[in-house]
Structure 1
Amino acid sequence: MILVTGGSGVVGSHVVRSLLAGGAEVAVFDILPHDRYLAPHTVELVAGDIRDLGTLIDTIRRLRVDRIVHLAALIAQDFDRHPAVSHRVNLGGTLNVLEAARLEGVRRVVMAGTWSAYPNPPSPENWAPTYRPVGEDTPPAPRNAYAALKWAAEQLGLYYARQFEVDFGSVRFASYYAPERALYVQRQSGSDVLNRMMRAAVMGEPFRLAQGADQCADFVYVKDCAEGVAAAALAPSLRSRIYNLGSGRATPLRAAVEAVREAVPGADIDVGPGLNFAPGQEAIYIILDVTRGRDEIGYVPRYDVRAGVHDCIREMRRLLSRSHV
């Protein structure tokens, strides 16, 4: 049995689907469990808070959990509003997951890290025009409190691997786009530019950016991220502890604009030329090196931006047909 904390969320629901497709038995542990994003799949939903070690242990025992995919966390915007709570959830909650795994002999824990643990930028070669991919061994330099907590949580996992032989791995996502995130998780950050663009197109609203059509970024589809998480959870062994999950390519925003216009004919999108579509947030332009994941756990991204955008917009329309935004 694989327990997915945060399994009712955007990434979590896709991970659950990927694990089920791989033949795994899966249960969701979430503070507000629901199956809205999981249809037509049915899994056991457990209401619980990762800050509650006892509930975690009871759930692991009752379900005979042998692997945990740990995705439950508060996002960066939550930290700005509730820093103390975010600390207790993102760091303290991860410690509880690791401790429950140690006490109950769970075979493996895979957690979601973040690309924002990397420096801004690691070196000039990681920017335009070369966009040299950033590997997992790049020395960390978390750029905000959210990234610092995620990096610290990884360090706890590495400690548990060394000290207690808990088989631990962390996956660092690039900026992902997803139908649920585009429709329901409305943010104004630069990393959500493609999500915001797709939502505007599907909802018949205009989308404007003064500049940035020539800027490359690592646009990775959530379904590829989910496949990478499932691969890390199901692999016979993990040769490394940290894996990047990105698209494997530098894609200009112009290509994403063209894909959205193709998927939604008549979409009112205007993005000016040049670089830097998110001034002040330049760190989002780094490209993750996915070589380690490919070689060690078989992570091969299937979606370029055109295929991913078309699939994402189809999924957005399917969700809209079942609900109201």
Structure 2
Amino acid sequence: MTRVLLFGASGFIGGHVRAALAEDPRVGEVLTPGRAQHDLIAGDVDALTALLRRTAPDVIVSCVGALGGTATDLLEGNTLVAAKLLEAAAEAAPRARLVRMGSAGEYGVVAPGRSVHEDDALVPVGAYGVSHVAGTRLFTIADGLDAVTLRVFNPIGPGMSEETLLGRAAARIRAALRDGVDEIQLGPLGAYRDFVDVRDLASLVGTIVLAAHVPSRVYNAGSGRAVTAREAVALLAAEAGWTGTIREAGSGPSRSATVGWIRADISRARDELGWTPMRELELTIKDVWNAGERR
């Protein structure tokens, strides 16, 4: 039975990963140290090494990272976390498999209509992408360790935060319905994005956790489909039954504002691991809305 040490289980991605692992009978135990027990970002390597010695995991999964903040914040949350995991594992759990969440932001600007492959050039457009490129590179060159990075595209699903586009759109549509308002405002919605259901992402994590052998160090975690953010928000409004106007103003997040198109080539995960995403965007949008209604 596989013993998993999961960091970030209280977050959006980590929570779904925890649920997927807990449901799999091949997983014997899922340990989820909270920040009080060990903070991957603020904690030091010695404390992490001691934790790995105490828990003796077969697999270590990190769903911890930084989406925003200063360049220092991003490097600490994404690059240094990867470095700490590798250093501690080499000392205390050298046979454990390590799995971290990277980002589609590592690719940077992509030619419209093209799917990005794991071996494509990495030309990130800001500190966020740079911080993940560095973290992924550390995992890729880690000699003697079984280290895997998932380049996560745009994860969506039940429990999304209002810090995300669709989470924010759902909250504003819900408020508009409540208050009888016929207009909401969001940022620019013309960019094409690859929205992957977080439950499909969690399934890929589970596949890697339990695989006898993982052939590659990096896998794209996307849907293989690109739609505009505008189309995704329109699907959400239709699911809500709201027919008002969505006004676009301001600017998008700095980590991806200059990237007008992104779509994952997911053939490596399919061919090497037998994984394919199962949920269509329309179903995921429905579940996003219904989850908010239940809350």
- In the other structure, the counterpart of 1:195 is 167
Task: For residue 266 of structure 1, report the CA deviation from its aligned partner.
Answer: 2.5
Q: What residue in structure 1 maps to residue 267 of structure 2?
A: 291
One of 139, 142, 146 as aligned partner of 1:167 = 146
1:259-316 superposed Cα distances (whole Å, 9 cap, x missing partner): 21332113534368xxxx9598241521111111111122211222210001112222
TM superposition shift of 1:251: 2.3
* Closer/same/farther in 2, CA of residues 285 and 194 from structure 1, 3 Å limit: farther
Task: Name the structure, 1 or 2, with higher relative contact order (CA <8 Å, separation 6+).
Answer: 2
Q: CA deviation at 1:59?
A: 2.0
Change beyond 3 A, Cα 1:229–1:210: closer
User: Residue 108 in 1 paired to residue 97 in 2?
Assistant: yes
Supply the distance in 2 between the matched residues of 1:20 and 1:106 (Cα, whole angstroms).
22
Q: 1:212 to 1:100 in 2, by over 3 A?
A: closer
Calculate the TM-score normalised by the size of structure 2: 0.84
1:36 corresponds to which residue? none
Residue 303 (structure 1) aligns with? 279
C-alpha distance in 1 between matches for 2:197 and 2:247: 21
Amino acid across the alignment from 1:298: G
Pairwise CA distance, 1:258: 4.1
Q: Which residue of 2 aligns with 1:67?
A: 59
Render the CA deviation track for 1:147-190: whole Å, top value 9, x for unaligned.
11211111111221xx2x2011100111222443334xx2xxxx
Could you tell which deviates more after superposition, 228-237 or 7-16? 228-237
| Count, aligned residues | 280
User: Secondary structure of 2:223's match?
Assistant: coil
Gaps of 5+ in 1: 33-45, 187-191, 321-325
Q: Which amino acid aligns with 1:62?
A: R
RMSD: 2.5
Higher helix fraction: Structure 1 or Structure 2? 1
Question: Residues 267 and 101 (structure 1 numbering): CA distance in 2 closer, same or farther, change over 3 Å?
Answer: farther
Residue of structure 1 in register with 2:122 after alignment: 140
Q: Conserved in 1, the CA contact under 8 Å of 2:237 and 2:243? A: yes
Cα distance between partner residues in 1 of 2:35 and 2:17 = 17
Pick from 29, 34, 39 the counterpart of residue 33 of structure 2. Answer: 29
Partner of 2:184: 207
* Distance in structure 1 (CA, Å) of the matches to 2:73 and 2:259: 26
CA distance in 2, matches of 1:99, 1:254: 43
Cα drift, residue 196 of structure 1: 2.3
Q: Structure 1 pair 271/253, CA: closer, same or farther in 2 (3 Å)? A: farther
Shift of 1:119: 3.1
What whole-Å deviation, never above 9, does each CA across 1:28-81 have from its counterpart, x for those lacking one? Answer: 13326xxxxxxxxxxxxx443453222222222222211111222222x22x2x
Name the structure 2 match of 1:96.
84
- Aligned match for 1:48, one of 10, 35, 39: 39
In structure 2, distance between residues paired with 1:182 and 1:92: 25
2:246 is matched by which residue type in structure 1? D
Name the SS of the counterpart of 1:73 in structure 2. Answer: coil
Match of 2:16 among 14, 17, 25: 14
Cα distance in 2 for partners of 1:152, 1:139 equals: 14
CA distance in 2, matches of 1:226, 1:284: 26
Q: State TM-score, norm by structure 1.
A: 0.77
- 1:251 pairs with 2:227: yes
| Residue 86 of structure 2 is aligned to residue 84 of structure 1 | no
Give the secondary-structure state (helix, strand or coil) at the position aligned to 1:97: helix
Q: Which is worse superposed, 282-291 or 86-95?
A: 86-95
Which segment is superposed worse, 238-247 or 254-263? 254-263
In the aligned structure 2, how far is the partner of 1:261 from the partner of 1:54?
Answer: 49
